[in-house]
Amino acid sequence: MLVQDIRYALRSLLRAPGFTVVALITLALGIGGTTAIFSIVDGVLLRPLPYSDPGRILRINRIGANGGLDSFSAADYRDLKKAATSFAAIAGYRSDIVDMTGRGEPVRINGMQTTAAFFDVFDAAPLLGRTYHEATDKPGANLAVINETVWKQQFGSNPAVIGTQVRLNGTPTEIIGVVPEFLRHPQKSDVWMLSPYDIPTSPFGMGDIDGSRDVHYFNVVARIARGRPLIEGQQQLKSIGDQIARDHQGNAGSTFGGEPLASSMVANVRTAMFVLLGAVGFVLLIACANVAGLLIARGAARRRELAVRTALGAGRGRLMRQLLTESVVLALVGGAPGMLVATWTQQLLISLAPENLPRLADVTLDWRIAFFAVVATIVVGILFGITPALQSSRPELNADLKDGGRTGTARTGLRNVMVVAQVALALVLLIGAGLMLTSFSRLRSVDPGFRVTEVVTVELMLPLARFNDEQQRNFYMSVLDRLQANPVTANSAMLFPFPFGGANAQASLDVIGQPDRPPEQQVSAELNSISPGYLKASGIRLLRGRDFDANDGPKSPAAALISESAIKEFGGKDPIGQQLDMGDPITIVGIVSDARRRSLDAEPRPALYLPYTQFVLPYMGVVVRSDRGAAAVASAVKTAVAQIDPDLPIGDVKTMEQIIEESTGEPRFRSFLIASFAVLALLLAAVGVYGVISFTVTQRVPEIGVRLALGASPRQVFTQVIGQGLKLAATGVVLGLVAAAAATTLVRGLLFNTSATDPVVYGSLAALLLAMAALACYVPARRAMRVDPMTALRSE
Amino acid sequence: MIRLQNIEKSYRHGLSQTFVLRRVNAEIKQGDFVSIMGPSGAGKSTLLHILGMHDSAWTGEYWLHDDPIHQLSAKDRMRLQKQHIGFVFQSYHLLDNLTVYENIDLPLSYRDVKKAEREGMVADILDRFNIVGKKDLFPNQLSGGQQQLVAIARAVVAKPSLILADEPTGNLHSDQGKEIMELFRRLNDAGTTIVQVTHSKENASYGKRVINLKDGWIVDEN
């Protein structure tokens, strides 16, 4: 019987090509779009990490007195390792840029220096060789594990790579294993190096760091012991953190916390992802309402057929089954091109997605997604089929057999409901998109406080193994001298860190002479290392005092500039001339304008600028103000570096515009997606309005004929038809406005300087939707105007 | 076979009530061939649809064999309808997207007859009605007379004891109409009870009895 129903369903679809094509396109877009977005949400949020018992892997955070998350210090980490009994493994790691030499051309790759237990936490089986472990490998063994891509690209997939010696940041190191590509957590790495100590080495040098609790510079991951519940591990972390805070004044108010790694990686994008899934779900619902509307119209045309079937003995259940079979067959037929749409959309989304979207590499189309698509398709089939089926399966036999379904207010009524629903849903999406775009445009128009145009940045990281503090300082000073002597790069300076790059250093603002503050009231400042000329190159204004100059050398008295927003920390006194306690006293010599450092949406925080000769780090970069373009600047920097150290590659070259662009990648991506869905929803809603008005005009031809015959002007008929469509759209708009006001509270957290109930956005998009509805009514209204009364009445 | 007692049907319009059928009493015996006649709006088709159980909004008593239709649930009425009744319409009402074979097969499939059995029954009917050669054609490939022939084949395929026909020749020219009426006579001769609505005295003459309706009342019965 089912086979027969399916055969009839396919045949009836073939016999109504117009309906079928419109329905299939609508469904393919709806199912395809939803599947593609689901595949992204699945990869980013839902898919478990590819390790055994991934739920037992935690990221351990140090939670500061002010509630902020912080990295670990050496002493805290050691205390944690000693006291934690609920964990099978705890490992520290620090990301690093690694220069791999000793095999011809030096290669710069992303690396991670870890303690020995790293692969006890991430227990992926290696493709070749082995990984290092706490039980077997001791710090200082100079071992490294590389990933599959590096093995293929740099070693030509040669199995003899195991046992090979390479120099990693100048240190001779033995490659002991190759791990598969999927090992890219907590972040992507090309090489993992066993630290020479029981903690990762510090970029600040290990001398002062070894027993310090003040310098926080590395991250910690752990695996909960088998049989121990997550909550027990989390409670133990807290109690250890609390104990350390009691024992050590510097840790007062802080504690430790643990969060499953998978959720901690995506915490920042979770809301946005679910909003996107919700948005595409709306598109799918609109598509369903659209197809349901088409089916209801078709059901009206099929009333005679259904009445005949009933007269021949078909019960209501039987008719429902047949109608639902048709819907599901239609959905499945639409689902096939839907999978194609999903594949293309997913590829497009991945290419458009910001690089910093976590777990993007885990996004794939596999059986999970196929299963989702099939289930979604069947659910969609039932969803759009159920209302028309319920309605059509109860024919009014006597009347339907007589007039074959030419009348039927109730049926038009239900179709009207579908149109109102579509318009309302579309408006919610449009308003969501409007708010996102407004927010994004306001974000992009934020003045970061520094020059964005004609500024090029070049990273110049130094391998610690070859460059001590003195060598680092000399290197950077020599490079800067050469660059400033070159007309292309005359206006250049050194800087750490680049804005919006993720790297940052913090220092507590302890003004000498002011009473100590309790831990929760302490203010930290963003620490920057700059060379003379940085203010000029970056467009940051010197408000008072003096800029750094050549006299601020390594042996000169320690000097600092503060930013405008740090002034309030000086208790109403003039900051210039006052001193900060940073181990040694540092004298404030100038005040500069505020600049945003972390992101465009974060208000400028107090900032402290130190001369690069006094606070040198191996992660400096060059900032060049030049109108000669990035390529010319990169070439000049490359030449300058090569003149000093021919083995040293330069790092990433980016214009400041690119940096800003990348920093706003995530909001741009979600705004673009929601706007795309909203446009699609708008079109679908317009098709829905067009469909119902066109259908109504066809049904009302005789009535229109009578009206015209009785003296109505074509203009009156036109106005009446447009009015009918606009009445439906207006009802949808009112419902949509109410629904949007409720729904947009969900996106409030994603908006920047934009109210979730912005009246301009609401008003303009409601007007846009009404205009679109009027446009959709125009064609059927014109058709109604041209009805020939004689023909219409004759057909009656 | 059929006994109707005080059958009434009416529509309400606000406070007023319009009767379509008034106090209809009638008896139809097994093997009867009854023609219902009367002017337009007399209630002929309404009565036929009540007999066919397509309409349930009426009052009075309707007995089919010994079953009180007026007391039965919709489900039980459907069961009896499937068991006893075949329907023929003035406009044939063949389903456009089904072939002749599939149209005839349809009532059997709704009665959950097994596929092999259905094939035999449809083949038999196609043969009896001499339309084997047309079994794969769609209704729009047939003439009006052929379509009505298929519609009657569809009505009798499930071997109903009662055929209800609503102006079965209304859309046919006279020769085709005669053929169809001859067919009804043969079915009646073979034992099938037939109730038809007609405007044509000639068609009524094929039957054994005529019930005349006017304004919902039975005005004459012979």
A88, A327, A721, B12 from A227: Cα distances, Å: 10, 49, 70, 75
CA distance A641 to A362: 38
Q: Is the dihedral of CA B21, B26, B32, B33 positive or negative?
A: negative
Two tokens, residue B149:
């022939």
Nearest CA to A39 out of A346, A376, A276 is that of: A346
Query: A200: cis peptide before it, omega within 30°?
Result: no
pTM of the model: 0.73
Does B57 reach chain A within 8 Å, measured CB to CB? no
Does B55 reach chain A within 8 Å, measured CB to CB? yes
User: What's the pLDDT at A686?
Assistant: 86
Nearest chain B residue (CA) to A11: B97
Min Cα separation A21/chain B (Å): 18
With tokens 């396919």, the residue in question is A10
Distance of CA A373 to the CA centre of its chain: 23
Min Cα separation B82/chain A (Å): 5
Q: Give Cβ neighbours of residue B192 (< 8 Å, ≥ 6 apart).
A: B31, B156, B160, B161, B162, B163
Residues of chain A with pLDDT under 70: 1, 104, 203-211, 398-399, 402-412, 465, 502-504, 519-520, 709-710, 789-796
CA distance A255 to A64: 7
Query: A497: cis peptide before it, omega within 30°?
Result: yes
User: What's the pLDDT at A502?
Assistant: 67
CA distance A586 to A572: 19
10 Å CB burial of residue B19 (0-12, 13-18, 19+) is middle
Please list the residues that pair with A378 across neighbouring strands: none
User: What's the pLDDT at A768?
Assistant: 92
Nearest CA to A298 out of A415, A380, A399 is that of: A415
User: What's the pLDDT at A58?
Assistant: 93
Q: Where does the pLDDT of residue B191 fall: very low under 50, low under 70, confident under 90, or very high at 90 and above?
A: very high
ipTM score here? 0.75
* Nearest-by-Cβ selection for B109 from A4, A11, A15: A4
- Encoded amino acid at B108, one letter: L
- Chain A positions touching B89 (Cβ under 8 A) are 308, 311, 401
Does B54 reach chain A within 8 Å, measured CB to CB? yes
B97 to A308: CB separation less than 8 angstroms, yes or no: no
CA distance A717 to A275: 43
User: What's the pLDDT at A652?
Assistant: 86
B49 to A318: CB separation less than 8 angstroms, yes or no: no
CA distance A617 to B133: 94
Q: Are A88 and A223 in contact (CB under 8 A)?
A: yes
CA distance A224 to A417: 54
Nearest chain B residue (CA) to A395: B54
User: What's the pLDDT at B215?
Assistant: 92
Q: Are A617 and A529 in contact (CB under 8 A)?
A: yes
Count of C-beta atoms within a 10 Å radius of residue B39 = 11
pLDDT at B120 over 50: yes
**CA atoms within a 13 Å half-sphere pointing along the CA-CB vector of A577:** 2
Nearest chain A residue (CA) to B107: A312
CA distance A336 to A583: 67
User: What's the pLDDT at A771?
Assistant: 93
Min Cα separation B89/chain A (Å): 9
Count of C-beta atoms within a 10 Å radius of residue A48 = 10
pLDDT at B31 over 90: yes
CA distance B198 to B218: 15
Nearest CA to B196 out of B220, B170, B172, B163 is that of: B163
Min Cα separation B96/chain A (Å): 8
Q: Provide the greatest CA pair distance for chain B.
A: 57
Nearest CA to A486 out of A642, A639, A650, A649 is that of: A639
What are the pLDDT digits (tens) for A708-758? 766 777 888 899 889 988 999 999 999 999 999 998 888 888 888 899 999
A–B CB contacts, 8 A cutoff, strictly below: 55
- Chain A positions touching B96 (Cβ under 8 A) are 15, 305
User: What's the pLDDT at A405?
Assistant: 44
- Please give the average per-residue pLDDT across B213-217, as a whole number: 93
User: What's the pLDDT at A206?
Assistant: 57
Q: Are A244 and A79 in contact (CB under 8 A)?
A: yes
B110 to A318: CB separation less than 8 angstroms, yes or no: yes
With tokens 């005529």, the residue in question is B210
